Amino acid sequence: MYDELKAAVRDVPDFPIKGILFKDITPILHDGRLFRIAVDSFADRQKGKKIDAVVGIDARGFIFAGAVAYKLGVGFVPVRKKGKLPYKTVVTSYTLEYGSETSEMHVDSLKKGDNVIIVDDLLATGGTAMAAATLVKQLGANIVEIDFLIELSFLKGRERLKDYPLFAAIVY
């Protein structure tokens, strides 16, 4: 099943900058059956667990996280780039494989003790996911798992997230 998802991922060289081989997931999004497989790969892992919210990382993570939250019947919490959320936020900064960034989450998006999963499309160095985890922890919530459609294992992001259960449907 995951082999079919992997076969649909398109490589785009030199995007967003020269030297980066971008893993394009839009062929999965364009195919309703493959998109369902991807969403189910996240949601089905949570059966029998008490999940209060799904945290999605800006921007492609929103696509999967929103669908997973819907399927689980729980709320969706966006982690956005700085300046994109209209209300009071908690904030953290981090480094990426090709720069640095600041992310934030609304201060009232999670309650102390909430059980959440974090969902994103791709795990590279782990900076973005670690930032999301930091924001979740700042609000006192528990991270049940961090899920990715794709993991670029050669960038060792899993090591950065070693304190959390982690799942990736496709590993390169």
Q: Which of 10, 36, 45, 97 is catalytic?
A: 97
For residue 138, count other CB atoms closer than 10 A to its CB. 14
The structural domains of the chain, with segments of one domain joined by +, span 49-171
- Looking at residue 97, its pLDDT comes to 62
Q: Which of 45, 60, 101, 160 is catalytic?
A: 60
The class level of CATH for 49-171 reads alpha beta
- Burial class of residue 5 in the structure, from the number of CB atoms within 10 Å of its CB (0-12 exposed, 13-18 middle, 19+ buried): buried
Q: What is the pLDDT along the chain (172 residues), one digit of tens a residue?
A: 799 999 999 999 999 999 999 999 999 999 999 999 999 999 999 999 999 999 999 999 999 999 999 999 999 999 999 999 999 999 999 876 667 899 999 999 999 999 999 999 999 999 999 999 999 999 999 999 999 999 999 999 999 999 999 999 999 9
| Token pair for 115 | 């059980």
Closest CA to 120 of 100, 98, 96: 96
Rounded-to-integer distance, Cα 54 and Cα 18, Å: 33
Sheet holding 166-171, edge to edge: 89-96, 99-106, 75-81, 53-57, 115-123, 142-151, 166-171
Active site residue 60: yes
Q: Are 55 and 132 in contact (CB under 8 A)?
A: yes
